[in-house]
Amino acid sequence: MAEEEHAFGVLSQALQGLTLQDFQEFKTKLLEVQVAGGWNIPKDLLEKATQPCTLASCMGKSYGEDGAMDVAIGLLEEMNQRDLAEELLGEKVKEYQQKYREHVAQKFLWYREVTSCLRENLSISSRYTTLAIARRKHGGEHKAVGTSQGGANSSNGPATTVVTTQTLFKPNEDGQTPQVVVLVGAPGMGKTMTVRKVMVEWAEGTRHTQFDYIFCMDCKDLASTKEASTVELVSKCYPHNRTPGKVLDDQKKILFIFDGFEALGFSLIQPKDELSSNLREVKPLETIVLSLLKRAILPESSLLITTRPTALQSLGRCLEGECHAEILGFPAASRQEFFHRYFENNNKADVAFRFARSNEVLYSLCAIPIVSWMVCTLLEQELSKQKSLVECSKTTTQVTMSYLSWLMKTGRDNLQDLQRFLPKLCSLAADGIWKHKVQFEEDEIKEHGLDQPDLLPLFLNEKVSRKGVDRGNVYSFTHLHLQEFFAAMFYVLEDNEEMVGGSGALQKDISVLLENYSKSRKDLNSMVRFLFGLESQKSIEYADEVIGCRISPQARGDMLRWLQGRHVGTSHPGQVLKVSELDTFHFLLEMNEKSFTQSVLGGLTDIDLQNSKLSLCDQMALSFCIRQWDELRCVTLRGCSFELQDPREEVPRSGASGASEHPYAHKEPHAPIQLLCRALRHPGSHLRVLRLQWCQLDESCCAELGVLLAQHPSLAQLELGDGALGDAGVRLLCEGLQQPSCCLRVLR
């Protein structure tokens, strides 16, 4: 209401600037006005409107606020009252800008996440996390963009400048201010969130103040438009209000954003004489967009184009002097920042981040923003069920499969094509891993049947060759661990079609893969770990029901025999059968099945690890296996160190055994060996010997060992070859030894 009163006040003031004769002429011309959707002012009312304020009120009631201003401006121009018309137009533009800023803030500040109805109203200001963005000056030649493996830690090289959303259009080191910026990123890297951030900062007046207007076009929505003019495109950005013509007059203060440019699917090849230079000329959408890109329309305006790497080649045909900025993902500090922004609770955020940080593969994948979001979502579900993530059932494979499911939904318009595309993609990934390749030539893409422009960008980044270079484009997976995941999937994915690749095609022989890993190819560790994760029953069901592909369970037998054989083979006749490879525990944790774990460990009696730095993830894998291992008799750890669990991550005090809490357990600080000791107290444990030699034990470790001595029914021998226990530590051990349930016979 206040805005309407202001508008009518401005109109009334303009009418007061007319002479009495001009005022009467204005009223006469009003009788001839025809306004679509409005009412003509009756003649008797016009005759009664003898004052400018009365006439302004009549016009407002008949034409509405915008209509009244437009009619007045048109009539004043017709009467050659240009100063008054300019005054009204200036006020209209000022009011439009204010309303448009409010519209932008409302539209872009709040957004809804894709899964949870509980998170319907999320603020971009509270959720947006700093991304690593590298700007490269191209000068007409298209260098490698989008090829970083996880990106955030990649070397930038001499032609690269690190930028932020605030500095995308700031002068570079040469003092040149970029007029056109192409922001490149793989799916899930945060392109649209970055656009939202830019729009909100502009609407709030905190950044990008060099622009009076920023018009953002969502290319997915725009793709359904057949024809339009430039003015109509601008009007789509604020559909509830007509765009005053003067808005586009000051070109240098306008920024156009095309978000998700690849969705338009334009070839952008068009003769120059077909381009448009008229703002109001209606032409095919591709012509209008190309006219903006080639600077035929509004040549002094600025452009920000976000796209997947696949659209770079077509963009390169029509842009000149543009700067390319690549989103590399979350650097290390931003990953932690994102966890805190997601949980909005420092304690939960620290617990979740520590869990992710302890898993090297998972933490590396968290450089991809959408993966960080998925990890947080999954861990939030776990934290809602229990106080601790120590027994979290979400494996790296399950998180990666969730990411694959998200990618499949991104390309859901051609889901069946995607399902046929997947085996070919996996074949390329496996071929690359075997040959130590992370970049693939165009002929390799074609050889594997992957030259499908609608699907390829979902999984691979495209590196566009320089002009004048004969070789084609080069492609790489968005992250090395994703290539390893798809390579593992190659061995277990059922496909009904003949694999493309000719006589030299890779064979699906899991035994060859596992044998090579055992002998010399330790670089295959992540791939083998994914293999075990994919063969879990949960993964098989998830792939079938959610992703729409079938994973064959037949490999489980080969994998079981391989794990059993690698430990039997390391023992001589008459020796005890023991596990001395830490990766065995990780493989079993990734499979995460009790029966499979027991089948592997059945007949083995000892653990013997030496000189290992046991991360929290290592300890979780070890603890998981110990809980399923009833035949375990002896644990020997020599020269091993333990990453300390965060004291803020509470572990259920009842312990895995369900035994009553030891009376002094809660009084001591968390110990590095807490996870190990609590796993050893699992029901059915028959452990007899525990050796922790030169493992940097301290007083807090003695507290945990005291509880273990007091509660374990069969532990008979404890060896602590470490001189750092101290008198207080020894006293804590003695308290455990004095308990009636203690069965220890040897203490060294």
Assigned domain for 276 exists: yes
**Single-letter residue type at 709:** L
155 φ, ψ to 5°?
A: -75, 135
Residues 135 and 261 in one domain: yes
> Any idea what the CATH number is for the domain that residue 602 is in?
3.80.10.10
Residues 72 and 43 in one domain: yes
Distance CA 117, CA 466 (A): 47
Please provide the average confidence, as pLDDT, over all residues in the chain: 81
Distance CA 373, CA 339 (A): 8
Q: In this predicted model, what pLDDT tens digit does every residue of 512-535 receive, in sequence order?
A: 899 988 887 888 888 999 999 999
At 425 the pLDDT is 93
**Span 234-249, average pLDDT:** 77
Distance CA 228, CA 217 (A): 13
What percent of the chain lies above the pLDDT cut of 70? 83
681 φ, ψ to 5°?
A: -90, 15
Assigned domain for 167 exists: yes
Residues 352 and 297 in one domain: no
At 469 the pLDDT is 44
Residues 714 and 613 in one domain: yes
At 588 the pLDDT is 93
Assigned domain for 187 exists: yes
Residues 182 and 48 in one domain: no
Q: In this predicted model, what pLDDT tens digit does every residue of 649-688 receive, in sequence order?
A: 443 333 333 333 333 233 333 678 888 998 998 888 889 9
Residues 657 and 736 in one domain: yes
**Strands, sheet with 160-163, edge to edge from the N-terminal-most edge strand:** 160-163, 132-137, 323-329, 180-184, 302-307, 254-259, 213-218
Among the three residues 394, 420, 442, which one is the final residue of a domain in this structure? 394
The lowest-confidence range among 552-556, 571-575, 602-606, 740-744 is 571-575
Residues 414 and 380 in one domain: no
Q: In this predicted model, what pLDDT tens digit does every residue of 491-500 receive, in sequence order?
A: 999 875 444 4
| DSSP at 577 | P
Q: Which one has a higher pLDDT value, 677 or 156?
A: 677
Residue 144, CA distances (Å) to 178, 236, 260, 459 in order: 19, 34, 20, 17
Residues 641 and 682 in one domain: yes
At 33 the pLDDT is 83
Cα radius of gyration rounded to whole Å, the chain: 34
- Return the C-alpha torsion angle 244, 245, 246, 252, nearest 10: 110
Q: Report the candidate in 117, 614, 616 with the shortest Cα–Cα distance to residue 350.
A: 616
Assigned domain for 601 exists: yes
Q: In this predicted model, what pLDDT tens digit does every residue of 112-154 receive, in sequence order?
A: 665 444 445 778 888 899 998 988 655 433 333 333 444 454 4
At residue 298, does pLDDT exceed 70?
A: yes
Q: Where are the alpha helices (DSSP H) in 267-414?
A: 285-293, 312-316, 332-343, 346-358, 360-365, 369-385, 396-410
Assigned domain for 112 exists: no
**Single-letter residue type at 108:** F
Residues 166 and 217 in one domain: yes
Q: Cβ(361)–Cβ(164) under 8 Å?
A: no
Indicate the SS3 state at residue 641: strand
Q: Which two tokens stand for residue 636?
A: 């020997």
Distance, CA of 474 to chain centre: 24
Among the three residues 329, 361, 383, which one is the final residue of a domain in this structure? 329
Q: In this predicted model, what pLDDT tens digit does every residue of 349-403 receive, in sequence order?
A: 998 898 888 878 788 888 889 889 888 888 887 777 765 665 565 788 888 888 8
Assigned domain for 538 exists: no
| Number of domains the chain contains | 5
At residue 37, does pLDDT exceed 70?
A: no
Q: What is the biggest distance separating any 2 CA atoms in the chain, rounded to whole angstroms? A: 120
Per the listing, tokens 């949870």 go with 116
pLDDT band, residue 244 (cuts 50/70/90): low
Instruction: Give residue 417's domain range.
Output: 404-498+510-528
pLDDT band, residue 248 (cuts 50/70/90): confident
> Any idea what the CATH number is for the domain that residue 87 is in?
1.10.533.10
Helices and strands: H and E segment counts in the chain: 29, 22
Q: Which two tokens stand for residue 692?
A: 């922790």
Assigned domain for 550 exists: no
Neighbours of 341 (CB within 10 A): 17
pLDDT band, residue 648 (cuts 50/70/90): very low
Among the three residues 67, 99, 131, which one is the final residue of a domain in this structure? 99
What percent of the chain lies above the pLDDT cut of 90? 25
Distance CA 226, CA 217 (A): 15
Residues 126 and 205 in one domain: yes
Taken as a whole, the chain contains a residue count of 748
At 288 the pLDDT is 93
Residues 653 and 731 in one domain: yes
At 596 the pLDDT is 93
Q: Report the candidate in 63, 80, 77, 56 with the shortest Cα–Cα distance to residue 8.
A: 56
Assigned domain for 250 exists: yes
Residues 415 and 441 in one domain: yes
Please, which residues have CB within 8 angstroms of residue 245's CB and are 6 or more apart in sequence? 231
362 φ, ψ to 5°?
A: -65, -45
Beta-sheet pairing, 213-218 with 160-163:
unpaired
At 578 the pLDDT is 85
